[in-house]
Amino acid sequence: MSFTTQPRRPPLAARPDHAAAQKRTLVVLFGSAIFGRAATTLGFAVASLLIKDMLGGATWAGLSTVAITVGTALSASTISDYMNKKGRRPGLVLGYGVAVIGGGVALWGAQLNSIAIFLIGLLLTGVGSGAGNLARYAAADLAHPTRKAKAISFIVFASTIGAVGGPTLVGVADRIGRSAGLAENVGPYGATSLFFAVASVIVFTSLRPDPLELAGGLDSATTPARKSVSDTLRVIVADPLSRLALASLVISQAVMVGVMAMTPLHMDDHGHSISVIGWVISAHTLGMFGFAPVAGWAADRFGQVRSIAFGAIVLVVATALTALARDASNQLMFPGLFLLGLGWSFGMVAGSALLTQSVPDEDRISAQGVADLVAAVVSGTAALASGFVLSAAGFDVLSIIGLIFSALLFGSGVIHGRRPLSAAA
């Protein structure tokens, strides 16, 4: 199979083979997303609690989220470049495979009460999370240009089952682990490895043909050398729409992670059981993934810019509710965390689609990886800082900081929405 010197976008609507391959791709990615997201949320629900027990306080509890997001950041650009050369299928299998090992390392570290080993394990599981994030772009490789947001949202929605179900299995996994001789809250990491393994097998056996290869997006021998991260970032920020897309991905992710990372600790400090905490996280992940098809439809129907602005105002409301939840009352934590996830969903789906359509074709794959890299780095920083803010000022101040950044994103979306920059606006 020969390729042109630059990635190209075939006329998808006129290619029946592409339409059939797209349907198969979405089915496979749907199945793998269920298990990949369940693996991620299972471990996340207990990570900060384990860090708190290991270090004897909540100040450094954000290290758990930092480790995961560092792994996500490392994988975002690296696996994206690997996909550029080898395809989506090898990249996803590699990322999920590394995460299988990571779950085992995290379990080992938690059982030994070793913070270093535990964080290394979390970092490796973050690689799987980063690969899963890139799967949303795989869904758009063969999608019609007017339905890219819908395709992306379908995979985000696919994560609902795993994202909502994962935290509810924490208690069961913990009981199984303790019956096998593991310490409290360690058992869920065995399930993390298992679920990542299932996701890897699904992709390895079924993602054929590779959507990126069929779309003509793989590097050929004559393709110019890929741009560096800094060069790709300059390409993104050079265009107002791609710049807004990057801001949406970064702020939505950072605000969501910063508040969510401290939610288990805030609720634990006010006497909530691990089961109640798990259900709040499930409500949050339902907001993140359950309404993704609505976010995709809205982005295609009303424009990505308007959807970004809507997601930002939802984040403003969410952080206002959590700021009021000083005693971690269920009446505020459940709706606050749900809306936090919903605002993230609109910002992530619309931002991803806008980025995909606003950068040059030859930079598309690299831009996707770099955008996820920046989002992961910033959200990792937010997660680390959130522990200090929680300890020094409280959960309400942490939420207010998130509210301020969400309001800035809303203002930017409104400004861009009034400019006739493109149909996307």
CB burial of residue 205 (10 Å; 0-12, 13-18, 19+)? exposed
Contact partners, residue 262, CB within 8 Å, separation at least 6: 48, 58, 61, 62, 386, 387, 390, 395, 398
Q: Token pair for residue 90?
A: 């090898």
Distance (Å, rounded) from C-alpha 361 to C-alpha 217? 9
Q: What is the pLDDT of residue 419?
A: 59
Rg of the chain over all Cα atoms, to the nearest angstrom:
20
The series of mean pLDDT values per 10 residues for the chain, 425 residues long, is 37 59 91 91 82 79 79 84 88 96 95 94 93 86 81 83 78 90 91 95 94 75 62 90 94 93 84 79 83 90 93 97 88 93 94 89 84 86 85 91 96 76 42
Q: What is the pLDDT of residue 160?
A: 75
Q: What is the pLDDT of residue 254?
A: 93
Give the CA distances from residue 88 to residues 158, 210, 317, in Å, rounded to whole numbers and listed in that order: 18, 6, 37
- Reported as a single tens digit per residue, the pLDDT across 283-311 is 887 888 788 899 999 998 899 999 999 99
CB burial of residue 14 (10 Å; 0-12, 13-18, 19+)? exposed
Q: What is the pLDDT of residue 12?
A: 45
122 contacts 158 by C-beta, under 8 angstroms? no
Distance (Å, rounded) from C-alpha 283 to C-alpha 246? 26
Q: What is the pLDDT of residue 335?
A: 93
346 contacts 423 by C-beta, under 8 angstroms? no
Identity (one letter) of the amino acid at 352?
S
Q: Token pair for residue 68?
A: 């995961």
Q: What is the pLDDT of residue 19?
A: 80
Taking the model in full, what pTM does it have? 0.74
Q: How many CB atoms lie within 10 A of CB 19?
A: 14
Following CA atoms 204, 205, 209, 211 in sequence, which dihedral angle do they give, to the nearest 10 degrees?
-40
Q: How many CB atoms lie within 10 A of CB 225?
A: 6
330 contacts 365 by C-beta, under 8 angstroms? no
193 contacts 301 by C-beta, under 8 angstroms? no
- Reported as a single tens digit per residue, the pLDDT across 78-98 is 898 888 888 999 999 999 999
| Strand residue runs (E) in 163-206 | none
258 contacts 402 by C-beta, under 8 angstroms? yes
Q: Among the residues of 60-169, which ranges form H helices?
A: 63-86, 88-112, 115-138, 148-168
